[in-house]
Amino acid sequence: MIVSNTGKYTVVSLLVNGSSQDIMIRSADTLLCTLRNQLGLTGAKQACGNGDCGACTVLVDGKPMHSCLLLTMEALNSGITTIEGLRHSPVRQAFVDNWAIQCGYCTPGFIVNGHALVTEHPDAEDERIEEWLQSNLCRCTGYQEIKDAIKSALNANNLLDSNGIDTAEQ
């Protein structure tokens, strides 16, 4: 929501990780730039800066988006979730448990994207996981542990009934 406009800058209200904040932006600011420089949320990274690597992935109304390609102005009426807002995501813990944590540049984007996959496609199989991960790049190591982590989060998710109760413990 636009709060006020003072020429070069516009004061807007942005909903990030469940909390609404008033900030001053320029019309050309990317969402990535606003998150990092205005809100101090540095989990999303600027790497390629042109939509190829996924290091800047955040959720916009639950959908994974490359925040380097999105203007903050375009996200004003949406709910944004960053890696900082996914502290309790089972995907985050699955990355730890499966040794899928890689460097600080690629890992946040993989976790955010993986969280969206588990949420949107709880029955995802190998082919969909492969396809889903194509939006995130790592040139230095393998993808196997990442796939294992996502599968393990999917399995854990499937052990929850529709009320969120862990059926493995009943």
Query: Which residue ranges make up the site for ligand FES (CB under 6 A)?
Result: 46-49, 51-56, 66, 68, 102-103, 105-106, 138-141
How far apart are CB 43 and ligand FES at their closest, in Å? 13
What are the CB-based long-range contacts (under 8 Å, 24+) for 8-15?
A: 10/73, 12/72, 12/73, 12/76, 13/76, 14/39, 14/72, 14/75, 14/76, 14/80, 15/78, 15/79, 15/80
Give the pair of three-digit tokens for residue 8: 């070069």
Joined tokens for residue 122: 């709880």
**β 2-6/19-26 pair status:** unpaired
Question: Nearest distance from residue 42's CB to ligand FES, in Å?
Answer: 13
Task: Count other Cβ atoms within 10 Å, centred on residue 148.
Answer: 16
Closer to ligand FES by CB, 38 or 135: give it: 135
| Residue 5 structure tokens | 């406009």
CB of 161 to ligand FES, least distance (A): 36
Considering the complex, state which of residue 9 and residue 105 has its C-beta at the smaller distance from ligand FES.
105
